[in-house]
A = this chain, B = another copy of it.
């Protein structure tokens, strides 16, 4: 049984590196700004390396700075280790739990095993994946993506700090000594293959709290596509130009955003616009010349994602000719992340652990709304995830919060799932 107090204290002690955005009186009432490979991220990496070595683990670092800590199993098998992985980097206005809980839980499990003398059959270990957030170097789940062969390493290495283009992900790996010596790959010959990948993560949404559940057994991740729409109109004076003579891209974009929501709703899917931009010289009394907005479409089934996209584009065509002299639009596909189904055996191991710990009334099967490193690992090894609730579903925000009880319960579930999988 894991030590819930040690877990909680370790998590918050190590959050000293990168603590920012105080919002309350308690010492832990802050968010985090531990951006990938900044000085605080390097500090927590060095601390993590020292801790796992204290526990008798071997540590390997690959060419993306992914850190693999490994504890030998009873069988001394050459099989790839069963990994518990997540990430220690955060958003610039992030919280103390997103990613961090997963790595700290894995570390607590290794500590518990060592303390109690418990040995798994096969090797088990922890992975700290580099740049999951994609906040400083703009590509999310970046290094699990390279490991899975989905992102070319040159592209990942070349990513530039969004505020200082003279700094690349590779130059920061070098600066901190985290450009490791093994290939970032699941290839047994050159890289670091994994036998399985379990990830504990906060839900980052309201489904668990709204259903009054403590454990989410995540059996897959929904598909998503990100589009950027560019709507072209024509500048015109708002006082002198009748509606009939206008080509108003902001009016059209407004109707498109509303339509995309309504279409997604009919399909029980999600469609969201996070960014809209007019030119910087826009003014109150000028119809804008052009509007750009993003569209993020999601559903557990790819066919539904595609259907929503198709219906949206058809609706947009109709809207484009609807008011005044009409507008035109282009679009680009920026991200295409198909739905992923996690491994049945991994899911069954988590289910078994949850059944034992909280029962069926307090757990639920679910699909991850967001992408995670496990989405990439699942392409090369059996994988699944455990979700724990975070307060009000708030994440990517300084006030993100997961209670000590939920952190501990998630960690215990992770431990038992791994043990279950190891025995099976």
Question: Using Cβ atoms and an 8 Å threshold, which residues of chain B touch A250?
Answer: 257, 273-274, 276
Interface residues in A, total, Cβ within 8 A: 63
- Residue interface mask A224-236, B partner, CB < 8 A = 1: 1010000000011
State whether A205 touches B272 (Cβ < 8 A).
no
Question: Using Cβ atoms and an 8 Å threshold, which residues of chain B touch A29?
Answer: none
State whether A275 touches B270 (Cβ < 8 A).
no
Q: How far is the CB of A143 from chain B (nearest CB, A)?
A: 19
| Residue in chain B with minimal CB distance to A286 | B274
- Residue interface mask A382-406, B partner, CB < 8 A = 1: 0000000000011111000000000
Q: How far is the CB of A263 from chain B (nearest CB, A)?
A: 12
Once bound together, how far apart are the Cα atoms of A206 and B135, in whole Å? 48
Once bound together, how far apart are the Cα atoms of A133 and B312, in whole Å? 40
Give the interface segment out of A44-52, A57-65, A190-198, A237-245: A237-245
Question: Using Cβ atoms and an 8 Å threshold, which residues of chain B touch A362?
Answer: none
Tell me if A253 is interfacial: C-beta within 8 Å of chain B: yes
**Residues 172-205 of A contacting B (Cβ, < 8 Å):** 203-205
Question: Using Cβ atoms and an 8 Å threshold, which residues of chain B touch A323?
Answer: 261
Q: How far is the CB of A242 from chain B (nearest CB, A)?
A: 7
Tell me if A294 is interfacial: C-beta within 8 Å of chain B: yes
Question: Using Cβ atoms and an 8 Å threshold, which residues of chain B touch A284?
Answer: 226, 274-275, 294, 296, 334
Question: Using Cβ atoms and an 8 Å threshold, which residues of chain B touch A394?
Answer: 236
Interface centre among A207, A226, A238 (most CB of B within 10 A): A238
Tell me if A70 is interfacial: C-beta within 8 Å of chain B: no
Once A250-B273, A396-B235 are accepted as A-B contacts, the answer to whether A203 and B285 lie under 8 Å apart by CB is no
Interface centre among A205, A207, A277 (most CB of B within 10 A): A205
Once bound together, how far apart are the Cα atoms of A242 and B272, in whole Å? 11
Question: Using Cβ atoms and an 8 Å threshold, which residues of chain B touch A281?
Answer: 92-93
Tell me if A282 is interfacial: C-beta within 8 Å of chain B: yes
State whether A396 touches B206 (Cβ < 8 A).
no
Q: How far is the CB of A88 from chain B (nearest CB, A)?
A: 20
State whether A258 touches B261 (Cβ < 8 A).
no
Tell me if A254 is interfacial: C-beta within 8 Å of chain B: yes
State whether A241 touches B287 (Cβ < 8 A).
no
State whether B206 touches A241 (Cβ < 8 A).
yes
Question: Using Cβ atoms and an 8 Å threshold, which residues of chain B touch A368?
Answer: 239-240
| Residue in chain B with minimal CB distance to A288 | B274
Once bound together, how far apart are the Cα atoms of A92 and B280, in whole Å? 13
The one of B206, B257, B396 in contact with A286, judged by C-beta atoms closer than 8 angstroms, is: B396
Once bound together, how far apart are the Cα atoms of A334 and B283, in whole Å? 13
Question: Using Cβ atoms and an 8 Å threshold, which residues of chain B touch A239?
Answer: 205, 222, 224, 270, 296, 298, 368-371
Tell me if A348 is interfacial: C-beta within 8 Å of chain B: no
Tell me if A278 is interfacial: C-beta within 8 Å of chain B: yes
Once bound together, how far apart are the Cα atoms of A294 and B284, in whole Å? 6
State whether A237 touches B282 (Cβ < 8 A).
no
**Known contacts A235-B396, A254-B257; can you find 4 more A-B pairs with CB under 8 A?**
A224-B239, A239-B371, A276-B276, A286-B396
The 4 lowest CB-CB distance pairs between A and B, nearest first, are A205-B240, A240-B369, A238-B272, A239-B369
- Chain A interface residues toward B at CB < 8 A: 92-93, 203-207, 210, 222, 224, 226, 235-243, 245, 248, 250-251, 253-255, 257-258, 261, 264-265, 270, 272-278, 281-288, 291, 294, 296, 298, 323, 334, 368-371, 393-397
Q: List 22 A-B contacts (CB under 8 A).
A: A204-B240, A205-B239, A206-B241, A224-B239, A226-B284, A237-B370, A237-B396, A238-B274, A238-B296, A239-B270, A239-B298, A239-B370, A240-B370, A240-B395, A250-B257, A250-B273, A251-B273, A253-B254, A275-B288, A284-B334, A285-B296, A286-B396
